[in-house]
Amino acid sequence: MTEPAYDLIIRGGRVATTTDVFEADVAIAGEAIVAVGRGLGPAKREVDARGKLVLPGGVDSHCHIEQLSAAGIMNADTFESATTSAAFGGTTSVISFAAQHVGMQLGQVLKDYHALARRGAVIDYAFHMIIADPTKETLERDLPLLIRQGHGSIKIFMTYDRLKIDDEPLLDILVAAREGGAMLCAHAENHGIISWMVKRLLARGYSHPKYHAISHTRFSEAEAFNRLIGMAALVDQPIMIFHVSTAEGAQTIRDARGQGLKVFAETCPQYLFLTADDLDKPGAEGAKWMCSPPPRRKDDQEALWKALALGDLQTISSDHAPYRFDETGKLRAGPNPNFKQVANGLPGLEMRLPLLFDAMVSKGQLGLEKFVELTATAPAKIYNLHPRKGSIAVGADADIAIWDPDRRITVTDAMMHDLAGYTPFAGRSLQGWPVTVLSRGRVIVESGKLNASPGSGRFLARSGGEAAKPTGRLVADMSPEQNFGAKLL
Ligand code: DUC
Ligand code: ZN
Ligand code: ZN
């Protein structure tokens, strides 16, 4: 008897890409998709996908895993728990952070995070390198080598007391990113406005979690976007603006892209489904909904949906940053902390895709192909993981989520597989659920159970790729001052 040609066939589902939805079998040999078509087979194993959607596994390009905050608070999750929760939510690749703090040697930081991920991850992963200490050694010695070793993106913060990068060193980092061919990602908010507001609010007794949203004024976002875009344009460095939360922020990006600048941007479910009112709960409860930037208003949600439709925003990530609602996390300063004492961040790896599937596919906002694009294909392309990740195509890794479009669930804290102990989306009723998930051909989630061992995820080495390439406009059609800027690089 001859061996079947395929290891696994996903039979009879509706396959979706960014442009098409069609009925097909998907055949897998080893770790890769080797055929997409009708009547394929035989295979050693078959998964019946009739009545289901066969989608690329999600790519979550912004999540904080096993990360020490600058204030010294450890995330609730390990790589094992975070990537397990990602898998249950239909995500099969994550890009998390290797976070340098002031005084740390970047090479050692990368080694440490690699060791954590190697031990725990159940799905594939890559790293953005957070630079908080842009010394000569970091920028000239460590960074070029680390980029060459497969870390094709850098992240900086323009706010947070112990992390923020001022404009001059930020220009140095932009140039270093350009020289290494890496993408520069940014948390862009105006530090001075926020810190002034925090001091004033607290001095006047406004300490409840809801004042967190007031301290991060809407304009502090658009202002920082604009400043960052100006600096990036000066040196012709592509940038990715993280977690856009306001209508003005989205407009700033639209304007920049309209000028042909290479500006990419993301938003997150918390800005599409939550508002600042969620922080307004009795006692400290609202701390569970505290993240930065904060959730805003209904009209911002509408503006963000429009920006997604227009292509101003290209990805939706979770910004998963889990802290427990107890003395190890959100309540580290006691049961009634002032808003400044509360760790910022929400768990979101597991609920990102189900929330978006419900809104985009079940309720029809933007549709299935756009869901695939925003949550898998576009992040894979921007961060140079494509065509290996983010698509159902021959030759791609068999990272696949099979969705039951009819399954209805009500979200509860107890359903979550991360270690935050709560989800900010509890109580919502959603339609559509990823019932079976494959990572490189392994069926890792099935019948509500995980079948993957810690450490089975692999590091995804990548260069900055196409998205991170300068436009060349610096010398072609920029103003004389801008051209003079080029001589200084
Ligand atoms: N804000 C951040 O800047 N990072 C993690 C989470 C958050 O809310
Ligand atoms: Zn951020
Ligand atoms: Zn973040």
CATH number for 51: 2.30.40.10
Q: Are residues 159 and 300 in the same domain?
A: yes
Q: What are the phi and psi torsion angles at 337 (to 5°)?
A: -75, 155
What's the gap in Å between 17 CA and the centre of ligand 2? 29
Looking at ligand 1, which residue's alpha carbon is closest to its atom 6? 345
DSSP single-letter state for residue 32: E
Please name every residue paired with 125 in a beta bridge, in sequence order, or none if there are none. 94, 459
Positions of the chain with pLDDT lower than 70, given as ranges:
1, 475-477
Are 295 and 275 in contact by the 8 Å Cβ rule? The answer is: yes
Amino acid at 112: D
Ligand 1 pocket test target in 164, 292, 323 with most atoms within 8 Å of CB = 292
Give the pocket of ligand 1 (CB within 6 Å). 64, 187, 291-292, 319, 321, 344-345
329 lies in which domain range?
A: 58-375+462-468
Give a yes or no: residue 484 inside a domain. Answer: no
What's the gap in Å between 449 CA and the centre of ligand 2? 32
Q: Are residues 262 and 321 in the same domain?
A: yes
Q: Are residues 189 and 243 in the same domain?
A: yes
- Structural domains in the chain (count): 2
**pTM of the predicted protein model:** 0.97
Q: Are residues 213 and 251 in the same domain?
A: yes
Are 61 and 379 in contact by the 8 Å Cβ rule? The answer is: yes
Q: What are the phi and psi torsion angles at 359 (to 5°)?
A: -75, -45
Q: Are residues 313 and 269 in the same domain?
A: yes
Which residues surround the ion ligand 2 when the cut-off is CB under 5 Å? 187
Q: Are residues 199 and 286 in the same domain?
A: yes
State residue 1's pLDDT score. Answer: 61
Q: How far is CA 187 from CA 240, 300, 455, in A?
A: 9, 18, 30
What's the gap in Å between 68 CA and the centre of ligand 1? 12
Give a yes or no: residue 481 inside a domain. Answer: no
Give SS3 for 348.
coil
Sign of CA dihedral 366, 372, 373, 374: positive
Give a yes or no: residue 473 inside a domain. Answer: no
Residue 72, number of CB atoms within 10 A of its CB: 9
What's the gap in Å between 320 CA and the centre of ligand 3? 7
Looking at ligand 1, which residue's alpha carbon is closest to its atom 7? 345
Q: What are the phi and psi torsion angles at 176 (to 5°)?
A: -65, -40
Q: Which atom of ligand 1 is nearest to the CA of 160?
A: 3
User: Radius of gyration over alpha carbons of the chain, in Å?
Assistant: 22
State residue 485's pLDDT score. Answer: 77
Residue 327: CATH number of its domain? 3.20.20.140
Give a yes or no: residue 125 inside a domain. Answer: yes
Are 439 and 122 in contact by the 8 Å Cβ rule? The answer is: yes
Residue 172 CA to residue 190 CA, distance in Å, equals 19
What's the gap in Å between 99 CA and the centre of ligand 3? 11
Residue 407, classified by CB atoms within 10 Å of its CB into exposed (0-12), middle (13-18) or buried (19+), is: middle
Give a yes or no: residue 476 inside a domain. Answer: no
Ligand 1 pocket test target in 155, 319, 340, 346 with most atoms within 8 Å of CB = 319
Q: Are residues 326 and 412 in the same domain?
A: no
Q: Are residues 350 and 407 in the same domain?
A: no
State residue 463's pLDDT score. Answer: 98
* The residue to which tokens 């060791």 are assigned: 115
